[in-house]
Amino acid sequence: MKRTYIESHIFKAFSKLNGIIPQDEAGIILSGLVFIKLYSLAAWEKLKELNGYSINLYIHDFFINENLPFNRIYDFEGLDSELLKALIIILDEADISIRRDVLGEIYNFCKSDDNRKIYGEHYTPYNVVKLLLNALDIKEDDILLDPCAGTGRMLMVVKDTLPFKNITFIGQEKNPIAWTLAQMSALLYDNNLKTGSSPQDALQQILDISANHVMMNPPFNQSYSQALEINSQIWDETTCRKSNLNFTWIQLALHYIKQNGDAAVILPQTSLSMQRKEDVAARQMLIENKYIEGIICLPRGIFPSTRIKPCLWILSKKEKNFLLFEILSTVFILILGTVLHFTFAFSNNNHIVGIFSAVNESTWKHLKLLFFPMLITIIIGFFVKNKSINYVCNRINYCFILYHFFSIHTQELSELIMPF
């Protein structure tokens, strides 16, 4: 894959550290230096002028004076000064702007495969974040929670994408490195991201929060070896198991969302077929309580760092009168469509009536018998039944699919029906 301009400089700086500094530690060092460059131009210019050990001391004092938590995860005082100077020269040439989750990108770029396997952490691609966002019905003044926030990437993408200004973003992260980078990224983006006072276990913290929406990409197929002390509102021995926390994450999401709230959770596709009694009970519970809005299976390789095939669970606590509305809509479409087949003749070939009715045997004229009744149900669904804009888009797509199908296969359908 061709590297971008910024990736070329990061790769060049990373190569300087290769064999000297552990791979994961290199990502922390580069993220810290890039933060200084983006956060304070004056500090970066001063840093370029310094030489020797004064560089190390300046960086150490910078994070203390700015009241930033970076020194908790790495202390530049122990790094070789000449190596640090070489990194500053390389990064100074890079045209790095405050875009998206640049600190998280650098950290992820340098993360080792062993580290990913241990923690089950896979950086969420932007197209997957947009998919999660489109699955949620977010409105002004809502609260959005990511219990596995990582470096805050998903919440930042949501902030950049949504037109609303008063969304409250709450993130929680166990990994102290990712938690620190999330706080620092929030400063760069002026993002009102709430991450708490320290990195804590997402299963044991922020239990009293009630959010309108939850979106998360939790660690895949992780287990807990230590004794669990989780609030009984979340942990249910019949539907959760310590050897695999996939369905625990789903119950965590359901615990957080308010009534009429929704959640989008990325899990491996094995969550659809796991046959342990707890897994079967969890899926049964979700179905019986009508929590599942939909499940979208994603292709292998959509997460570049793993070959696991993921899927998106879309959950909600909304009232489920949707099926009744769909049945009544279908009956309405069939009845009105049948009536419209004859209204043109009954009106003595009135041209205005002909706009909505079949006036000859062409494909389009008969498709009007489907199109206009369905258009009425779309309007009713959106304004009366309070369906989301996604509902409208899906129904419109359905109309186009039907039109495309019938326009192509009209002849075949006629030949099939004629013998009867």
pLDDT of residue 171: 81
Q: Place 284 in a pLDDT band, splitting at 50, 70 and 90.
A: very high
Model confidence over 166-220: pLDDT tens digits?
Answer: 888 888 877 788 888 888 888 887 666 666 555 554 445 565 778 899 999 988 8
Determine the Cα–Cα distance for residues 250 and 246; give it in Å rounded to an integer: 7
What pLDDT sits at residue 120? Answer: 60
Question: Is 10 or 386 the better-scoring residue by pLDDT?
Answer: 10
Environment class of 380 (CB within 10 Å of its CB; exposed 0-12, middle 13-18, buried 19+): middle
pLDDT (tens digit per residue) in 68-77 = 878 778 888 8
Mean pLDDT, residues 368-374: 77
| Adjacent-strand bridge partners of 171 | 146
Give the C-alpha separation, 291 to 247, whole Å: 13
Residue (of 177, 166, 245) closest to 212 by Cα position: 166
Name the least confident of 158-167, 210-219, 374-383, 391-400: 391-400
Q: How far apart are CA 202 and CA 105, in angstroms?
A: 22
pLDDT at 12: 79
Higher pLDDT among residues 307 and 315, named by residue: 315
Q: What is the mean pLDDT of the chain?
A: 77
> What is the per-residue pLDDT for 358?
72
More confident residue, 119 or 122: 122
Least confident of 37-51, 355-369, 401-415: 401-415
Residues with Cβ within 8 Å of 323's Cβ and at least 6 positions away in sequence, in order, are: none
Lowest mean pLDDT among 77-81, 125-129, 403-407: 403-407
Q: Select the more confidently predicted residue: 132 or 238.
A: 132
Under the banding of pLDDT at 50, 70 and 90, the label for residue 156 is confident
Tell me whether strands 257-268 and 310-316 are parallel, antiparallel or unpaired. antiparallel
pLDDT of residue 228: 41
Which DSSP symbol is given to 400?
H
* Between 325 and 62, residue with greater pLDDT: 62
270 has a pLDDT exceeding 80 = yes
> Which one is predicted more confidently, 269 or 24?
269
Do you know the residue count of the chain? Answer: 420
pLDDT tens sequence across 78-102: 888 888 898 888 888 877 765 667 8
pLDDT number for residue 203 = 45
Q: Stretch 402-420: mean pLDDT, rounded?
A: 51
Give CA 160 to chain center in angstroms: 13
Q: What is the pLDDT of residue 262?
A: 93
- Report the percent of the chain where pLDDT is more than 70: 76
Q: Note the pLDDT tens digit of each residue in 29-67.
A: 888 888 888 888 899 999 888 888 888 899 988 988 888
| pLDDT band of 374, cuts 50, 70, 90 | confident
CB atoms within 10 A of CB 306: 19
